[in-house]
Amino acid sequence: MREETVKLLGIAKCLPEALPLYHYCLYSKCIRITPLHSSTLPFKCDTCSIGKLNVQPSVMAPANVPVDKIKGLIGNWKPCCVFLDGIEPLATPIKRWLEEPGDVPVAARTQGFTTVPGHIEAVVFDVFPGMYEGASSLRVVESLGELSASGIHLEVVFYLNQLKTAPIKPFIDQLGSETIIHLDYQGVASETKAEKLKETLGDLGFRYIYLRDSERWIWDDTECPYCGNRIVSRRNSITVTHHVKQDGTCGYCGARLPFRKVYTEEDAGRKLMARKSILTEWLNIYALT
């Protein structure tokens, strides 16, 4: 019987702080999987790092990885989540080989979503209108509407340099006011624009808005949007303390927070990565073939 394989670009150990979906996590780590998409062959990335914090190959060529080995990694690592980091429109066949790891949450990062597999609990949607196949502005607007209505935990990243020819209002109109929004800008010249947009979104009722400079990629401490107290402290982008109760409420004012959280037993592998200030540690996927 032929061994079932899936074509991937990369597999990594990853701290949840590296993912927009997880705003605070003190103990655990996740598994980060980069599926292959027809529009990314080969995948090239010379700057995928936070300063020198990430370990990332400059070119990742696809490899056929046995499904059983992926399941084995999930079983051995005991991650807090499986993170599908595709950016491109996410394909549904992944559901077939990911639905067995048990209670591990599955999150995804995508753009141009067309179908949401039922086992995915959270999605971060990167708004890059027109940059990927099937991701026209109209399709992105429709997809955001589908995701907002699905009940899935949703966070949206708007790349302001990509929105020069695509007004933001049609995208915003699809989102509920509780949606977490990241405004990505580039350098000081765009910072004022980002700050004004944050103020405008606040006036429209959006509570959870984060600014980030993609040239520096700095993750700030997180403040409670209700009382303003710092609920997460980070060093080198890695969580060192947090004041969030296990029921998901602020440790100061008791307000319920919308952020995804993970509470697990302390993990030695995470401690080693944190000590080295490594947020993402890529594996040699060819060793798994």
99, pLDDT greater than 60: no
Considering only residues 284 and 251, tell me which one the structure prediction assigns the higher pLDDT: 251
CA 186, CA 65: separation in Å to the nearest integer? 36
pLDDT for 221: 83
Say which range, 32-41, 60-69, 173-182, 262-271, has the weakest mean pLDDT: 32-41
Summarised one tens digit per residue, pLDDT across range 169-218 is: 889 999 998 899 989 888 777 888 889 999 999 999 998 888 888 766 66
Contact 117, 92 (CB under 8 A): yes
Band of residue 52 on the pLDDT scale cut at 50, 70, 90? very low
Percent with pLDDT over 90 in the chain: 11
Mean confidence (pLDDT) of the chain: 78
For 246, other C-beta atoms within 10 Å of its C-beta total 7
Question: Is 120 within the bounds of a domain?
Answer: yes
pLDDT tier at 166, thresholds 50, 70, 90? low
Which domain, by its residues, includes 68? Answer: 5-213+224-260+268-288
**Top-ranked range on mean pLDDT: pick from 125-134, 199-208, 232-241:** 199-208
What's the domain count of the chain?
Answer: 1
* pTM for the whole structure: 0.82
The set of residues, in sequence order, having a beta carbon less than 8 Å from that of 108 and lying 6+ positions away, is 83, 84, 85, 86, 90, 120, 122, 123, 124
Residue 219 within a domain:
no
221, burial (CB in 10 Å: exposed 0-12, middle 13-18, buried 19+): middle
In-domain check, residue 218:
no
Report d(CA 32, CA 13) in Å as an integer: 6
pLDDT for res 6 = 81
Q: Does 273 map to a domain?
A: yes
The reported pLDDT for the residue numbered 81 is 85
